[in-house]
């Protein structure tokens, strides 16, 4: 605490990201990274960018990348905004669109950065309880609000809300912005991006961190009506003219353009998820149906926290949230085949038989 | 304008960065980039980072880079904060340290992003007029204030405030934060970083964009008392867990560590600045003494705007600010020897003789 700080700093409760361990040879199933590296075309494109031109500022509006995203999703350039990871895109969205006189709504179990943004920008919010099965019920959101945001599939549950439900919500909730945070959508859901031209208050946020194997270069994007995008551009241009560096722009562009590699990688992760789910169920876990690259599951014969500790002793890191309603669950990222086998084998040795 | 926007968005006047032209073969002397590329060690380090590990998030606290900065300046790790370009570091500083009940002070002619940040975070401010010679007079800042910020050397004038003056200011102004924004300090000034351990309210901000030839990778840093740094960390961790990507972390670390290359490059730019200054004076310009990698100068026989237009027609871009007090000046970045010669030759052909 310091008398030099701005008032807001005293009240912040920062987000705590999953651990990025500095020890080698750990099996890291805690931050939902893709088990497979990026497309070889990404590496080639970044390779070509390495040189004297790094002395020059990047394109402040990242047109090339935005055009690649627009082309892939069938949008116009002015319907796409890019930022330094989807966390930055979310931050600008909270400040530029979701700070309203009425409270913002989001699920009680959800991405734990949402209340942190509300703290930073003094956004009033209400958390809407998920059903007992961790499902989002859109009827619960049909109340006075200054905006609605949820991940789809939800995090950390992995549970998908069907597109038809999102469309129902948009038909009924027309006076405030609805943000669908689709970090994990490519692993088993249908994106709401196809609804953008019908609903001017829909903003869809995605990232290259998960399905495109590029958490290391920090690129996220928002898609929506040009009017919503303009709000984000205004905030961005009042914050940082050049949020994406040269390497990130070319790398992300190549990733979006290599559709075959992307589909193949997603398919492998989805197949592994189904295998791991079956194994966990055999081991007595309650597994929430997942449309993501992770599984949210509760062990039946050991506490989740003890199990996380035991796994860590065996060199495997998973994510445990010490929070109401979910403190009996672990969030386990899908790894490579070898990593998944190591996980199952460790679980078999830890969990009492019977 | 949209009824979906947050209130603040309607009143923003975003910063307009210098043009990043998409036409090749222009001589770009408008955004103060270094004319020389980054150190070969930077390229090697980034090369080594290109691979499957790009699937993984970077270190959220960029410890390796912060340690390199701390080592270079003789500081502790907790005295260093890093961000996605010094613009992001400045943004967090405005939000986390400079938003106070009393007005923030900065020069009337200064980095034009400062009032933009004030708009974004609703920071009250007062602009303090520079002297007629564009010098900062520290006595003008010894009034009630919620913080003081200025670039040193100042932008866009290039004029240096001597370190002794900064120390006098710190001796007298102890109740609010003093930010010295040293984007250009390596081209001819002495950094205030040596005063950090004496003055708990001093924050020094630097960047790898200029003297370390890396505008393309977006890395800036702040150095100060651990208590000031903690405010920035709290804001950062409430905004974006991973602001620096893997490529930027390794590239900036290598740049900070290659001291010989850095010194050699700065020396070349300084020598060229002195040559260009002499030529401009011969051509009748009023040249403000510069300690930066650019020159702020007023032509005597043609309007600054007309001259900028004429240069552009000859493929040379410089920066013109259509603002009170400085609308007769051009800001000209120091280029390579060839670029500087082309500039002088173009000026000779444009400016009427005699």
Provide the residue count of chain B.
Answer: 354
In a domain, B181, yes or no: yes
What would the pLDDT profile of B148-164 be if each residue is shown by its tens digit?
999 999 999 999 999 99
Domain count, chain A: 2
- Residue A88 and residue B243: Cβ atoms within 8 Å? yes
- Residue B2 and residue A38: Cβ atoms within 8 Å? no
| Residue B55 shares a structural domain with residue B199 | yes
Alpha-carbon gap, residue A271 to A290, rounded angstroms:
12
In a domain, A1, yes or no: no
What would the pLDDT profile of A163-198 be if each residue is shown by its tens digit?
999 999 999 999 999 999 999 999 999 999 999 999
Q: What does pLDDT average to over chain A?
A: 96
| Residue B275 shares a structural domain with residue B232 | no
In a domain, A97, yes or no: yes
Residue bearing the bigger pLDDT, B337 or B14: B337
> In angstroms, how far is the first alpha carbon of chain B from the final one?
52
Please count the residue pairs, one from chain A and one from chain B, whose beta carbons lie less than 8 angstroms apart.
Answer: 270
Please say which residue of A258, A279, A307 terminates a domain. A258
Contacts 24+ apart (CB under 8 A), A283-286: A283/A344, A283/A347, A283/A348, A283/A351, A284/A351
- Residue B9 and residue A231: Cβ atoms within 8 Å? yes
- Residue A240 and residue B91: Cβ atoms within 8 Å? yes
DSSP-derived letter for residue A128 is E
Q: What does pLDDT average to over chain B?
A: 96
| Residue B123 shares a structural domain with residue B62 | yes
| Residue B198 shares a structural domain with residue B116 | yes
Q: Which domain holds residue A114?
A: 40-258
Domain CATH code at residue A317:
3.90.1150.10
Shortest CA distance from B114: residue in chain A: A238
What would the pLDDT profile of A115-142 be if each residue is shown by its tens digit?
999 999 999 999 999 999 999 999 999 9
- Residue A35 and residue B55: Cβ atoms within 8 Å? yes
Dmax (CA) for chain A in angstroms is 64
pLDDT value at residue B23: 76
In a domain, B1, yes or no: no
Contact between residue B17 and residue A60 where contact means Cβ atoms under 8 Å apart: yes
Read off the tokens for A182. Answer: 């689709």
| Residue B327 shares a structural domain with residue B206 | no
Q: Nearest to residue B138, comparing CAs of B157, B158, B162, B115?
A: B162
Select from B9, B16, B40 the residue whose CB has the most chain A CBs within 10 Å, as the one to mutate to test that interface: B9
pLDDT at A82 over 90: yes
Select from A173, A244, A246, A247 the residue whose CB has the most chain B CBs within 10 Å, as the one to mutate to test that interface: A247
Here the ipTM equals: 0.96
| Residue B317 shares a structural domain with residue B250 | no
Shortest CA distance from A13: residue in chain B: B238
Shortest CA distance from B91: residue in chain A: A239
Please say which residue of A258, A280, A295 terminates a domain. A258
| Residue B239 shares a structural domain with residue B105 | yes
| Residue A229 shares a structural domain with residue A188 | yes
DSSP-derived letter for residue B216 is G
Region B38-59 average pLDDT:
97
pLDDT band at A1 (very low <50, low <70, confident <90, very high): low
Please say which residue of B196, B224, B258 terminates a domain. B258
Contact between residue B5 and residue A231 where contact means Cβ atoms under 8 Å apart: yes
**Chain A environment of B7 (Cβ under 8 Å):** 99
Task: Provide the shortest C-alpha distance from residue A51 to chain B (in Å).
Answer: 7
Contacts of B301 (CB under 8 A, 6+ apart): B284, B351, B352
Domain CATH code at residue A73:
3.40.640.10
- Helix (H), strand (E), coil (C) string for B52-103: HHHHCCCCCCCHHHHHHHHHHHCCCHHHEEEECCHHHHHHHHHHHCCCCCCC
In a domain, B206, yes or no: yes
Read off the tokens for B173. Answer: 């102004």
In a domain, B53, yes or no: yes
pLDDT value at residue B354: 61
What would the pLDDT profile of B226-283 be if each residue is shown by its tens digit?
999 999 999 999 999 999 999 999 999 999 999 999 999 999 999 999 999 999 999 9
Contact between residue A41 and residue A233 where contact means Cβ atoms under 8 Å apart: no
Contacts of B137 (CB under 8 A, 6+ apart): B130, B131
Q: Is the peptide bond before B156 cis (omega within 30 degrees of 0)?
A: yes
| Residue A300 shares a structural domain with residue A213 | no
Task: Provide the shortest C-alpha distance from residue A306 to chain B (in Å).
Answer: 26
CA separation (Å) from A62 to A96, A228, B21, B324?
A: 20, 18, 13, 32
| Residue B169 shares a structural domain with residue B307 | no
Contact between residue B308 and residue B343 where contact means Cβ atoms under 8 Å apart: no
In a domain, B106, yes or no: yes
Residue whose tokens read 């001291």: B259
| Residue A209 shares a structural domain with residue A71 | yes
Q: What percent of chain B has pLDDT over 70?
A: 99
Task: Provide the shortest C-alpha distance from residue A24 to chain B (in Å).
Answer: 12
In a domain, A2, yes or no: no
**Chain A environment of B228 (Cβ under 8 Å):** 2, 4
| Residue B56 shares a structural domain with residue B21 | no
pLDDT value at residue B1: 57
């Amino acid at each position: 605490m310091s008398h030099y700080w701005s008032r807001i700093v005293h009240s912040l409760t920062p987000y705590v990201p999953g651990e990025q361990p500095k020890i080698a040879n750990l099996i890291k199933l805690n931050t939902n990274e893709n088990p497979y590296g990026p497309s070889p075309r990404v590496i080639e494109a970044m390779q070509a960018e390495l040189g004297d031109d790094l002395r020059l500022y990047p394109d402040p509006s990242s047109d090339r990348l935005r055009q690649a995203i627009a082309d892939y999703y069938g949008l116009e350039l002015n319907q796409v905004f890019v930022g330094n990871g989807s966390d930055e895109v979310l931050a600008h969205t909270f400040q530029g669109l979701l700070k309203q006189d009425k409270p913002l709504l989001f699920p009680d179990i959800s991405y734990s950065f949402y209340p942190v943004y509300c703290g930073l920008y003094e956004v009033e919010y209400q958390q809407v309880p998920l059903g007992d099965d961790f499902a989002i019920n859109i009827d619960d959101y049909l109340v006075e609000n200054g905006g609605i945001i949820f991940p789809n599939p939800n995090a950390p549950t992995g549970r998908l809300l069907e597109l038809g439900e999102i469309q129902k919500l948009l038909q009924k909730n027309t006076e405030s912005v609805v943000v669908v945070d689709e970090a994990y959508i490519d692993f088993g859901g249908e994106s709401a991006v196809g609804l953008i031209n019908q609903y001017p208050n829909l903003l869809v946020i995605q990232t290259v961190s998960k399905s495109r194997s590029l958490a290391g270069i920090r690129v996220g994007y928002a898609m929506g009506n040009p009017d919503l995008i303009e709000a984000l551009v205004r905030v961005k241009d009042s914050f940082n003219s050049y949020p994406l560096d040269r390497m990130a722009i070319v790398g992300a562009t190549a990733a979006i353009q290599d559709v075959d590699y992307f589909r193949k990688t997603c398919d492998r992760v989805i197949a592994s998820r189904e295998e791991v789910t079956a194994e966990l169920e055999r081991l007595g876990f309650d597994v929430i149906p997942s449309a993501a690259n992770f599984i949210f599951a509760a062990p039946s014969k050991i506490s989740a926290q003890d199990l996380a500790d035991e796994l860590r002793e065996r060199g495997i890191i998973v994510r445990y949230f010490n929070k109401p309603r979910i403190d009996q669950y672990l969030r386990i990222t899908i790894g490579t085949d070898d990593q998944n086998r190591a996980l199952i084998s460790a679980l078999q040795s830890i969990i009492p038989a019977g």
